[in-house]
Structure 1
C-alpha cells in the first residue's frame, strides 16, 4: 500500500482553516479576528516560490488574515506542512518569509507542522552572521508525533483535526499491516458517525480518512459494507456522498498510479496485463457490492456481465450508478 498524505491535507486545511489554527497553533488563533474573512493566496505564493524548490513538503499556504489588534490592517500567515526530514527546511522558511514580505510589505508569520515519523527532528530557526551583521528567523513548529501518546484524548476532542491527526499517525503505525489498518479506519469512521457534526464536515473528514488510510480492495469493500450498516441503524443519509467520494478517490488514485507506471521503463508485458486484470476484478467486485446494497444481490447474468467487462465499461457503469434508480439505468449506454 503506497500511502498518500499530500492531497487530503491540502483540501482539509483550506476547508477548515480556523479549526486547523485552533488545534495546532492556539496562540496564533486567539490573535486573529475570525469575524473577518481570510483569503488563500495560492497563485501569488506559487509565483513567489516557483524558483525556490528547496525540499519535499506536503503543503505550503499563504493566507491573508486580520488580527484583533490590527484595526483595518491585514497580515499574512505562511504555513508549511512538512512530511519528511529535510536539512534545508529552516532555510526554506527563511527564504519564503522574506520573499512574501518583500512582495507585500506586510508582517508575515511563518508556522510549520511537521508530520514526519521522527520524534527528534525539530527545526525552529535559521540564521547567519557576517561582518557584524546578523540575519535570523525563529518560527513556531508543531510535531505530529507529539500526539502519538495521546490517542485516547484525541478520540474525545471535538476539533476535526484531532481525527485528521489520528488518521495520519495510525496510517504510519499500520504501514504494511492491512488488517490492523482496517480496524483503525473502521474505528475512526464509526467515530465520525457518532459526532454531532454537520453533513459537510463529516463528508470532508471521511474523504481525508479514506484517502490517507489506503486499504486493499477486499478490506475496503468490507468497510464500505459496514458504513451502509451504520447508516441503516442510525437513519443517516451520507452514503450517496460517500459513494461519490470513494469512487472519485479510486479514479484519482488510478490515474496517479497510471502516471507512475508510465514513468517506469522496462515493465514486462505480462506484469502489465496482470495489473490490468487485478484492477478490473477490484472494480467489478466494488460495483457488485454497490449494486447489492441498492438493488439486492446481483443475479448470475449481472455477475457474468461484470466479470467480462472492460475497465472502461466498469467505469461508465459506476458513473451511471450514482444517479440510477434501476439496474437498467446502470447498464444503459450513453
Structure 2
C-alpha cells in the first residue's frame, strides 16, 4: 500500500458529497438523471427528509457509500401531488447492494404510501459491477424493482468536457475520476487537483458554491503533507489573481476547527466503549481524522475531554495548563488519565 492509498477517503457516507447532493439537488438530477429531471416541476422546490430516511433504514448494514438522500418533489404531470426520490451514491462494490435498494424502496413506500423513485450513482472502480434490479417470482407472484444506475467510470472518455461543464456535478465527477487515475502517483494527483481548483475559480459561481465544491475536491483528492502545503501556496496565488479570497482566510481556519472536532468525536467514541482499549482507539482514530497542524492544541483538547469525563468540569487553571503545555507534558498526562485518582494526580502535583 502506498502513502497515497492511506489518504483516500475513509468509509463515510456523510461526506461533502452529501452536502452538495442536498444543496444542489436539481443540478444533481440534471447531470446524472436528465430524463427524470425533465419530469419534475422544480418551481415547487424540493425538500430533503434525512431524519425520515434514517428512521426507515437505521437497522440496515451500511457499506462504503459517499451519500444517501430522500427528497420530496412534485411532478409536472400533476398525477401525484408529490413523490419521493431515494438516492444512493455507492463508493465500492457491495454484494447485497441491489437487495438493499429493493428493501429501502418498499420500506419507504410503506412509510409514506407514496411512489418512491430509487436512483443509484456507482462510484466504485469495478467496470463490470452494474446492479440495476432486484426481485423474485414465485407461485405466480412477481415482485421486482428496476432502478436507474449511473456509473462514474463511464464518464472517463469525457474528462476534458467535464472540467469545462457548467454543472457542478461535472466537476465532482471529474475530480472523482482524476482521484482514481492518480491513486499511485502523488505528483500527478497534485497537478490534477491544482488544475481542478483553478478551473473552479474560473467558474461564474457564487462564493458558497465554490466553497462547497472545493470541500469535495479537497476531501477526494488527498495529498501528502508536503504537496498539500505546496497546493495551499498555489491556491493563495490563484485567489490573488482572481481577487476571490474564499478558501485561504476564514474558511481555512474553520476547516482546521472542524478537524479538531474530528479528534473530539474520535475520543468520545472511545470513551463510550468504557474500556482502555476503546479510549486508545478513540485517540488514534480522532487524531487520524483530525489531520491538523496544531498538534499541541489537538492533544490538549483530547486530554481536556478525557479529564472532563472522569472528573467533571475543569477549573480554568487546569485548562490553562493544558493549552500551554509542551508535547512531553501532554504525553505524560494522557498516560495518567485512566488510572489517576484525582485531577491533581494527573498533573503530577501529588
Question: TM-score per shorter chain, which class?
Answer: 0.7 to 0.9
CA distance in 2 between counterparts of 1:224 and 1:54 reads 34
- How many residues were matched structurally? 288
Cα separation, partners in 2 of 1:72 and 1:107, compared to 1, 3 Å: closer
Q: Which residue of structure 1 aligns with residue 72 of structure 2?
A: 64
Deviation of the 1:265 alpha carbon: 6.0
1:1-334 equivalent positions in 2, closer than 5 A: 1-4=6-9, 6=13, 7-53=15-61, 55-70=63-78, 73-238=81-246, 239-248=248-257, 250-251=259-260, 254=263, 282-283=293-294
Deviation of the 1:211 alpha carbon: 1.5
* Deviation string, structure 1 residues 44-103 (Cα, Å, up to 9, x no partner): 111111123264433221111101112671100011111111121111111111111111
CA distance in 1 between counterparts of 2:266 and 2:142 reads 47
Cα RMSD after superposing both structures: 3.4
Contact conserved, 1:171 with 1:212, CA < 8 A, in 2? yes
Contact conserved, 1:62 with 1:76, CA < 8 A, in 2? yes
CA distance in 1 between counterparts of 2:44 and 2:158 reads 33
CA distance in 1 between counterparts of 2:161 and 2:150 reads 17
Gaps of 5+ in 2: 1-5, 296-324, 331-350
Q: Which residue of structure 1 aligns with residue 3 of structure 2?
A: none
CA distance in 1 between counterparts of 2:173 and 2:187 reads 20
CA distance in 2 between counterparts of 1:207 and 1:187 reads 15
Q: Per the alignment, in what secondary structure is the counterpart of residue 134 of structure 2?
A: strand
Deviation of the 1:257 alpha carbon: 7.2
CA distance in 1 between counterparts of 2:80 and 2:108 reads 20
Cα separation, partners in 2 of 1:15 and 1:54, compared to 1, 3 Å: closer
TM-score normalised by the chain length of structure 1: 0.76
TM-score normalised by the chain length of structure 2: 0.73
Q: Per the alignment, in what secondary structure is the counterpart of residue 197 of structure 1?
A: coil
Gaps of 5+ in 1: 285-307, 314-334
Deviation of the 1:152 alpha carbon: 0.9
* Deviation string, structure 1 residues 133-182 (Cα, Å, up to 9, x no partner): 11111110000110112111111110011111111111122223221111
